[in-house]
Structure 1
Amino acid sequence: MKKLVNIISILVLVVFAGGCKKFLDEKPLTQVPTENYFKSLKDVTAGMAGMYGSFQQEMTGDGNGFSGKYHYWGEGRSDNFDRSQYNNTTITEEALNQMTSGNSVADWTGLYRTIGRANTCIKYIPQAAAFDNAVTTNVVNNNLAQAYAMRAMCYFYIVRLWGDAPLWTEPYLDITQQASKPRNPKAEILDTIVSDLTKAYNMIQKKQTAVIWNINEGTIAAMLADVYLWKKDYPKAITWTANVFTSKGSKAVDYGSTGTTLEPAATWKNLFINPANTNEAMWSISWDYNFNGCACLPISMGLSNNPVAMDSVLHTNWKKNTADIRVKFSYDTLPGLGHWDKVIKFHNIAGNVIPTGTGAALANTYNVYLTMYRLADVYLNYAEALNRSGDPVNSLRYLNYIRVRAGLPALLATDPSISTQDKMEDVILNERRYEFFAEGKRWFDLVRTGKVKEVMDPILKIRQTKYGSAPDGFGSDLNKILFPLHRNVLEYNKKLVQNPSYN
């Protein structure tokens, strides 16, 4: 994140330090009484920085190794990624559908740490207005909106990855409080997510130019549309998408519904190397190596050996479509070892050619901006909702906005590949696969649409044969679509029960 955030995050450690029960990482705030802390605009800013910094760390990593969850959660189990010749246990288990409770990405601790910080901000930010005139009503409401939305985002990850989970909506402030909770039903958590996001949208100041490093009006509406898509409530997904269209982006103009505010094809990669200067970016995570260290993505670039490789079939086949401008901006298209494990999408390199030889930059010398939401994501989610709502004409229109921008021909309504709702959904999902490659979306798309076994079964059989396992594909146990709960989580909270099929 920005230098200011890193500096004030140090201050936040006074309030948000350490962790007691690891499954939540919410240490009672004894160093400084929390009620005595939020008494100025500076305190509010520091508290919010601690919340964002916690989420940033969970997605990007802690500056060491390949610990960021963004790619492991969103794509590690999908048909986009595979293990490389430098594989670790994390990706090996994901790529072969052999997840265990010892896998590091089965640990939700960092998400609950972020939830704890959001809960503290929600509880105490309003009191700052009584001590500092700079903490205006708009300041309070805008920060509360972001805290509610961040809490919702963390729970959205949790329910999509683990299903049922403990629901915490108050900060953990007293060591006498009960630190263990059983799991709440997934449906209850989804309802809480909707409630939080609705509060956030009502609080956020409208028609403000978006600051893409923060959750903003358009992002909140996009998140609500996304959640309703998961709930199969397509009319509400459509309604909330309309609210995205009337929100302002970073160029101080409405995102709109006509495709004109999509980033042009010629500068498409700016979405990942300079997102604040695009028409399309909505919310991105900023990682500056000067202050945060290495953004050591598991499928990075530079002179690094990555544990994750691009799936070999996708690596070979996508580049055959020479009209698709996204190929040269997304990955190292050269064949063989040392190339399959390189994604260049998030790296600012001249000519999109990986520098090699003496003096070539290491992966940890690049700033990285991970995309959470952008307008193309909203458009293709909208196409999916419209398709399932019986509006193929407009569904095709939003699909074609993305295809044409990518250099592909627009599909005609008479094309047999989109002749039914199911076929149209498959085409939309395929377009999402290419457009959002390495953006942490693919696994969630497969889960949401019920395509995990259909897509992954043949791919897993190939991988399992190649790596010496029994070629049984995904298998018949669909419980394994969920991740296991990490063994440390179970150890520290005896009220939890492991997900089926992982005992």
Structure 2
Amino acid sequence: MKKILLISIVALSSIAFSSCSKWLDLQPQDGITRAEFWKTKEDVRAAVFGIYSSLNAGAVEERLFSWGELRGDLIGLTTYASDDNRLVKNYNILSTNVISDWSAVYTAINDCNLLLDFAPLAKTADPTFGDAEYNSYRGEALAVRSFLYFYLVRTFRDIPLKLKGTSTDTDIVSVGQSSESQVLKQIEADLIQAQTWVPEYHEQAIGYNASNTGRITKPAVTAMLADVYLWMEEYSKAEIETNKILNNNRYALVSNAWTSIFDGGTTETIFEISHKASRENPMFPLVINPRRPYMANVEILNAEIFPSNTETDVDLRDNRSEGYLYTSDGIVLKYGLETPDYFNFQIYRIADVMLMKAEALAELGKGAEALQIIKELRAKRKALQATDAAVDEGDLDGIIEYIFQERARELTFEGKRWFDLLRLAKKDNYSNLNILVDLITKTVDANVQQSAISKVRNTDSHYLPIAETELFKDPQLKQNPFYLK
């Protein structure tokens, strides 16, 4: 495995990372792709592992985390945070802010596109390259590309949808931007295709197997598709996809040592970015290092997400709360306390899928079934009476709010909070915009709150600006109109 990973890194560093001056930073050196690579199934396998290597190299993971958490309410800033970080927190984002830098994500997408473009050459040249292995590699590339586009479309809305790789100078052409609906349609189609190509698992084993959690499997693709359907408000389809995972008994919640999920070795993980082969845990400088810019927002977490019981059993604690997920001084514990190696970045795990199904059920009017799922999860996590909403099965709005509160408890610091809040706010044509207004009152400095509230009422502001550098490189890109004022 280490040998393959090394080969893939060397090959793909030439293919995908050699230039930062071209459109979307996607250009490799001319000629190397066809002349020196893509001749055997081993080349394609190396390229697959290169894709996964690009995910855990640091820059991509940092983007997934900051896009999903920084504008939320569960991550705060330390004195070491940058001015750009503070502008984001105060809802005063400019097109020059580093948070809009998508280059690492598009570079990883290009890795996927190159495999999809050139794997057929290896299939033709190598008679030992079987259909099942060939399709698995293509399915993995499709799924990773879809996953990255899903983050991009939720973050920027209208984005370049590049489906062909950049392998020579002549490949560098502008594709302009596609609308949110066009991107989501492509993601849906690609994930449906990937479901037919990738295997249920890569290596059959009892219990946890790193080859099945650090690589795309059919359950991983299915979880992605369910997530996409929730964003699209296609709740019946989301229920169908979650059932495919929950009905096969392959995954299960752990009862004890809950934090072991993030170190690997449990039956909860469906897909994760593994740090086991990394020299440095990419999350270490962000939330663990003494000079970390980000910290757990302990005040909000303890007051709103994990409040203590007020009358009986006041000393009990939810096993996802302070002391488990974070310390009293804001160190995030989900990613370990040192580097290298250590805890992995969870993308999808069984608890997430359970909550996706509960949300779909509630939206479909099946309140009793949704509440049963929440009850099961809370029992495993030793959730406190103080956080039990005690809603009636007919109070569907109350159940949905309860589900999102439980998602905050369960998925804290996993790059999902902002997208959860935005999904809830925008559904039914922004029927819950007040959720984002309330968010501003909790997270933005008092002296700029009114300005931020005014901004958040403009729905274009919910998406980041296209970086100024990208606009300069590609005149066909159009800035989000909110940032033209």
Q: Give the structure-1-normalised TM-score.
A: 0.84
- Whether the 8 Å contact between 1:21 and 1:179 is mirrored in structure 2 is no
| 1:318-357 aligned within 5 A | 318=306, 320=308, 322-328=316-322, 330-334=324-328, 339-340=329-330, 342-347=331-336
Give 1:357's aligned residue.
none
Counterpart of 2:483 in 1: which secondary structure?
coil
CA distance, structure 2, for counterparts of residue 207 and residue 141 of structure 1: 14
CA distance, structure 2, for counterparts of residue 300 and residue 6 of structure 1: 28
Q: Which runs of 5+ in 1 are unaligned?
A: 62-67, 248-252, 256-260, 350-362
1:250-271 deviation line (CA, Å, top 9, x unaligned): xxx623xxxxx1122x121111
Paired residue for 2:339, among 352, 364, 373?
364
Distance 1:426 1:115, change over 3 A: same
1:449-488 deviation line (CA, Å, top 9, x unaligned): 117853343453354445x435444322221110111111
Paired residue for 1:434, among 409, 412, 416?
409
CA distance, structure 2, for counterparts of residue 184 and residue 450 of structure 1: 23
1:334-380 deviation line (CA, Å, top 9, x unaligned): 2xxxx22x101121x6xxxxxxxxxxxxx434523100000100000
Alpha-carbon shift at residue 219 of structure 1 (Å):
0.4
Letter in 1 for 2:39: K
Aligned positions, number: 462
Counterpart of 2:134 in 1: which secondary structure?
helix
Alpha-carbon shift at residue 489 of structure 1 (Å):
1.1
Letter in 1 for 2:441: K
| Matching of residue 488 in structure 1 with residue 469 in structure 2 | yes
Letter in 1 for 2:422: V
1:354-411 deviation line (CA, Å, top 9, x unaligned): xxxxxxxxx4345231000001000001000010011112111111121111112699
Paired residue for 1:454, among 421, 428, 434?
434
Counterpart of 1:502 in 2: which secondary structure?
helix
- Whether the 8 Å contact between 1:22 and 1:489 is mirrored in structure 2 is no
Distance 1:198 1:242, change over 3 A: same
| Matching of residue 301 in structure 1 with residue 297 in structure 2 | no
Letter in 2 for 1:269: T
- Whether the 8 Å contact between 1:456 and 1:473 is mirrored in structure 2 is no
Alpha-carbon shift at residue 427 of structure 1 (Å):
0.4
- Whether the 8 Å contact between 1:205 and 1:217 is mirrored in structure 2 is yes
Distance 1:71 1:15, change over 3 A: closer
Counterpart of 2:482 in 1: which secondary structure?
coil
Distance 1:419 1:474, change over 3 A: farther
Deviates more, 1:213-222 or 1:473-482: 473-482
CA distance, structure 1, for counterparts of residue 436 and residue 296 of structure 2: 15
Runs of 4+ in 1 over 6 A off after TM superposition: 409-414
Paired residue for 1:292, among 279, 297, 312?
279
Letter in 1 for 2:333: I
Letter in 2 for 1:272: F
Distance 1:195 1:386, change over 3 A: same
Distance 1:112 1:397, change over 3 A: same
CA distance, structure 2, for counterparts of residue 48 and residue 207 of structure 1: 16
Deviates more, 1:372-381 or 1:130-139: 130-139
Alpha-carbon shift at residue 206 of structure 1 (Å):
3.7
Q: Which runs of 5+ in 2 are unaligned?
A: 205-210, 310-315, 427-431
1:98-125 deviation line (CA, Å, top 9, x unaligned): 1111111212212211111111111221
CA distance, structure 2, for counterparts of residue 115 and residue 135 of structure 1: 24
| Matching of residue 216 in structure 1 with residue 224 in structure 2 | no
Give 2:208's aligned residue.
none
Q: Using the aligned pairs only, state the percent identity.
A: 25
CA distance, structure 1, for counterparts of residue 195 and residue 188 of structure 2: 10
| 1:400-439 aligned within 5 A | 400-408=375-383, 415-416=390-391, 419-439=394-414
CA distance, structure 2, for counterparts of residue 422 and residue 78 of structure 1: 21
Give 2:270's aligned residue.
282
| 1:40-189 aligned within 5 A | 40-57=40-57, 68-177=62-171, 179-189=173-183
Paired residue for 1:399, among 374, 379, 394?
374
1:302-355 deviation line (CA, Å, top 9, x unaligned): 5x1211122243243226353311114544432xxxx22x101121x6xxxxxx
